[in-house]
């Protein structure tokens, strides 16, 4: 039997493949046609994709593509054991495997698009902190992170907020603020210093006892239950109480206490009463140095773990050296990584290094030999942009049996692909969208666990479980020659833009374990490496 494209016989054969009723003769004829006809291949891939989408639950399809994609084509069996007669059979098998992976990646690439029309609601950013403890529902604000309208409750410590209008506030806990817009904030209680430069003209700060609308000034407020103190440190400050029809002006160096309808009580401005707030920069720098030292100590202990295959600390090395040392004390045959491209940049702390990936050539090459029943990956990332449909984190070269691909899609979905030992056998475990626009430019901690014993694949973000999947690919698992931040798409045609999966951003502190770390261990890795560790656990309402 032979097939041509287009033809009714081709249509019937593809339909039979989709429904699992194709005969061996139809499969062989399709095999022969698809190997030599690129137009027929494209049509075949399109039809299988449409069929899998119509036949699958949309949520299931997004979670686990392996169930949704039929694996229909079988290579023609060899008629001879001689090398010469086996070669066409092997080429056909390779073509089938490549085709099947093309279908899988087509399906994967068609899912992104969740972000279409997405925008940020943020009006300010948390610029820096010092010993800050938050009393917020959900995850606590992170230095460098965006702030949307809503309440901020700082239990203790210091924090600096920079509004998109250009105004800056330094607050000291306990304090309670409501962010309204880039040009307005309400301080319900607590102490703060406000700097309102001329570009922030019209910025308004309100308390229960007064409102200030100024620019080109620096002032402090101390908001209590019955009264608010206002101190003009630089420039004149105009204020108005709710019970007054006219605004009043405080000259530089003057202060006032406002407590209702009575006239404000004047007093000299007292910068010494806000001394701790003026010292935020020094305290923040001290906290950064302490955080870096604590991470180093934790890393020294971590390097003694007999399951730690690879640990790249990205600590100071000669900028001209192309080797990235593996600091694991028991690394055995695992070698250092080779730096290809990449530029050194500031890491999670001012005196910490990281490698920045900017171009399609940038990557780290390494070789991890051996077979494993479980693996854990963990890395600190600063994602600048998800420029590709699939952005590589850590990928084995090509699609050898047992190898692993770890990546992020352009809609923030984290994916772990495990390749099986049979042609066309693989499993793609994808999380829900985890990295949002508001996390771009921030240091985040990602971890992935592949556990062959419990048959699970687990994704983590910032020490928290993101998703948990049943694993159907049995061990052993392998790394072999692999790349951080890029991918050698061995076995695929050159020039295919979909095969370009380089990472855009910076990496700092990568770990690879030959065992499955628990959720508590993942959280400890995250806690030990947070760029600005908090004084205590965050409290929830």
Domain of 504: which CATH number? 2.60.120.200
Which three-class secondary structure state does DSSP give residue 395? Answer: strand
Do 153 and 260 have their domain in common? yes
Task: Report pLDDT for 400.
Answer: 87
Count up the domains in the chain and report the number. Answer: 3
Question: Alpha-carbon distance 214 to 203, whole Å?
Answer: 6
How is residue 443 written in tokens?
Answer: 């240091």
Give the domain CATH number at 201. Answer: 2.60.120.1440
User: What angle (nearest 5°) sits at the alpha carbon of residue 475, between those of residues 469 and 478?
Assistant: 100
Q: Does some domain include residue 79?
A: yes
375 and 509 together in one domain: yes
CA quadruple 208, 211, 216, 219: dihedral positive or negative? negative
DSSP secondary structure code for residue 206 in this structure: E
Q: Do 99 and 131 share a structural domain? A: no
| Alpha-carbon gap, residue 14 to 27, rounded angstroms | 9
Which tokens belong to 355? Answer: 């490698």
**What H or E segment, with its residue span, contains residue 163?**
strand 150-163
The parent domain of residue 479 ranges over 291-529
Q: Are strands 237-240 and 337-340 parallel, antiparallel or unpaired?
A: unpaired
How far apart CA 276 and CA 249 sit, in angstroms, is 26
- Is the CB of residue 431 less than 8 Å from the CB of residue 458? no
Asked if residue 94 belongs to a domain, the reply is yes
**What confidence score (pLDDT) does residue 319 get?**
64
Tell me: do 406 and 301 sit in the same domain.
yes
Q: Which residue, 58, 82, 110, sits at the end of a domain?
A: 110
- 229 and 298 assigned to the same domain: no
Strands (E), 330-442: 337-340, 343-346, 353-357, 363-368, 374-383, 390-396, 404-409, 413-419, 426-433
- Residue 260: inside a domain, yes or no? yes
Half-sphere exposure of 293 (CA within 13 A, CB side): 6
Question: Can you tell me whether residue 263 is helix, strand or coil?
Answer: coil
Q: Is residue 285 part of a domain?
A: no
Going by C-alpha positions, the residue among 339, 316, 379 that lies closest to residue 512 is 379
Is residue 140 within 8 Å of 535, Cβ to Cβ?
A: no
Residue showing tokens 């891939």? 45
Same domain? 239 vs 104: no
Residues 66 and 128 in one domain: no
pLDDT value of position 489? 64
Residue 117, C-beta contacts closer than 8 angstroms, at least 6 positions apart:
none
In a domain, 317, yes or no: yes
pLDDT at res. 61: 35
| Residue finishing a domain among 256, 280, 304 | 280
| Rounded distance between C-alpha atoms, residue 127 and residue 308, angstroms | 35
What's the pLDDT score for residue 52? 55
Q: Can you list the residues of the chain whose pLDDT is less than 50?
A: 53, 56-117, 493, 533-541
Say if CB 336 and CB 325 are below 8 A apart.
yes
**Which pair of tokens denotes residue 472?**
């159907």
Are both 168 and 21 inside the same structural domain?
no
Q: Is 403 found in the same domain as 501? A: yes
C-alpha pair distances (Å), 128 with each of 31, 90, 214: 60, 59, 24
- Phi/psi for 473 (5° steps) reads -90, 120
Check if the beta carbon of residue 481 is closer than 8 Å to that of residue 396: yes
Domain-terminating residue out of 110, 143, 160: 110
Whether 37 and 58 share a structural domain: yes
Could you tell me if residue 541 is inside a domain?
no
Residue 538 maps to a domain? no
Domain contains 286: no
336 & 432 share domain: yes
Residues 360, 363, 369, 375: what is their CA dihedral angle, to the nearest 10 degrees? Answer: -90
Phi, psi for 452 (deg, rounded to 5) = -75, -25
Q: Residue 356 pairs with which residues in a beta bridge?
A: 343, 506
The Cα–Cα gap between 439 and 396 comes to 27
Compute CA distances 85 → 75, 77, 89, 90, 96, whole Å: 14, 11, 7, 9, 18
pLDDT of residue 423: 78
Residues 242 and 313 both lie in one domain: no
């Amino acid at each position: 039997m032979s097939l041509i494209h287009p033809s009714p016989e081709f249509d019937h054969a593809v339909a039979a493949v989709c429904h699992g009723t194709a005969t061996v003769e139809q499969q062989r004829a399709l095999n022969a046609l698809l190997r030599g006809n690129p137009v027929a291949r494209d049509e075949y891939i399109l039809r299988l994709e449409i069929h899998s989408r119509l036949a699958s639950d949309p949520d299931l399809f997004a979670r686990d593509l392996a169930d949704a994609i039929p694996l229909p084509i079988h290579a023609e069996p060899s008629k001879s054991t001689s090398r010469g007669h086996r070669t066409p059979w092997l080429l056909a098998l390779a073509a089938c495997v490549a085709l099947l992976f093309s279908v899988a990646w087509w399906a994967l690439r068609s899912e992104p698009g969740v972000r279409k029309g997405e925008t940020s609601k943020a009006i300010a950013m948390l610029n820096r902190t010092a010993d800050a403890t938050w009393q917020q529902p959900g995850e606590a604000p992170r230095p460098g992170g965006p702030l949307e309208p809503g309440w901020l409750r700082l239990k203790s410590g210091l924090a600096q907020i920079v509004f998109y209008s250009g105004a800056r506030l330094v607050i000291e806990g306990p304090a309670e603020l409501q962010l309204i817009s880039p040009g307005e904030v309400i301080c319900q209680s607590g102490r703060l210093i406000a700097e309102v430069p001329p570009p922030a003209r019209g910025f308004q700060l309100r308390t229960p006892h007064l409102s200030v609308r100024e620019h080109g000034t620096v002032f402090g407020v101390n908001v209590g239950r019955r009264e608010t103190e206002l101190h003009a440190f630089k420039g004149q400050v105009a204020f108005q109480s709710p019970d007054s029809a006219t605004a009043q002006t405080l000259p530089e160096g003057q202060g006032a206490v406002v407590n209702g309808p009575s006239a404000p009580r004047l007093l000299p401005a007292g910068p010494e009463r806000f001394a701790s707030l003026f010292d935020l920069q020094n305290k923040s720098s001290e906290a950064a140095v302490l955080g870096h030292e604590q991470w180093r100590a934790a890393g020294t202990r971590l390097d003694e773990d007999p399951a730690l295959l690879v640990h790249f600390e990205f600590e100071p090395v000669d900028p001209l050296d192309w080797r990235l040392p593996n600091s694991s004390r028991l690394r055995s045959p695992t070698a250092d990584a080779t730096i290809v491209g990449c530029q050194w940049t500031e890491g999670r702390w001012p005196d910490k290094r990281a490698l920045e990936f900017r171009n399609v050539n940038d990557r780290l090459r390494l070789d991890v030999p051996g077979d494993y029943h479980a693996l854990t990956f963990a890395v600190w990332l600063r994602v600048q942009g998800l420029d590709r449909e699939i952005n590589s984190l850590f990928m084995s070269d090509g699609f050898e049996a047992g190898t692993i691909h770890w990546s992020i899609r352009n809609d923030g979905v984290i994916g772990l692909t495990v390749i099986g030992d049979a042609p066309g056998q693989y499993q793609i475990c994808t999380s829900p969208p985890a990295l949002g626009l508001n996390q771009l430019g921030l240091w985040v901690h990602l971890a992935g666990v592949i556990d062959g014993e419990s048959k699970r694949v687990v994704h983590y973000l910032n020490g928290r479980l993101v998703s948990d999947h049943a694993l159907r690919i049995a061990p052993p698992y392998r790394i072999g020659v692999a790349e951080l931040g890029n991918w050698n798409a061995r076995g695929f045609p050159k020039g295919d833009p979909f095969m370009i999966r380089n990472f855009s951003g910076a990496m700092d502190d990568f770990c690879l374990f030959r065992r499955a770390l628990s959720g508590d261990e993942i959280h400890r890795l995250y806690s030990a490496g947070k760029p600005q560790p908090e004084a205590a656990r965050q409290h929830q309402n």
